[in-house]
Amino acid sequence: MAKYLLLKHYRGAPDPVNNVPMDQWTPEEISAHMRYMHDFAARLEGTGEFVDAQALAPEGTFVRYDGEGRPPVTDGPFVETKDLIAGWMVIDVDSHERAVELAGELSAAPGAGGRPIHEWLELRPFLTAPPTITE
């Protein structure tokens, strides 16, 4: 088994195919989208492949050490970043193929017009502890 991170992006990733901003969906379309994500997570719990899922707020702040006795430097609450992470899901699956398959399914969540949004998800394997046998 190997763990994979499915990363959703606010910005930075290529645009989804069905590229209508969420605030222009109907409330029903938003509900359908949320239900899809929820059902997806519930199904993975059922198959024993679910590890974690969290959503992140769009505001992020970069923080940096600014020397002894000085407060950390921040770039302010409204960051201009090219890349913003919207949330993640962690899965624990038998193969890379299975991880790709699930990411594909998650990317098919319905959006405007009830059609799949075809969103780009970033799929990253976890680095793990070494196995018992290496030499």
Interface with another protein by CB under 8 A: which residues? 1, 3, 45-52, 92, 94, 125, 127-135
Question: CB 95 → another protein: shortest distance, Å?
Answer: 9
Q: Which is nearer to another protein, 50 or 88 (CB)?
A: 50
Give helix 96-107 / helix 27-47 axis angle, nearest 10°.
Answer: 160
Please check whether residue 60 is in contact with residue 81, taking contact to mean a CB–CB distance below 8 angstroms. yes
Question: CB 134 → another protein: shortest distance, Å?
Answer: 7
Q: Which is nearer to another protein, 54 or 132 (CB)?
A: 132
Burial class of residue 116, CB neighbours in 10 A (0-12, 13-18, 19+): middle
Q: Which is nearer to another protein, 7 or 44 (CB)?
A: 44
Q: Which is nearer to another protein, 15 or 52 (CB)?
A: 52
Question: CB 29 → another protein: shortest distance, Å?
Answer: 30
Hunting for tokens 């699956």 — which residue is that? 93
- Residue 84: helix, strand or coil by DSSP? strand
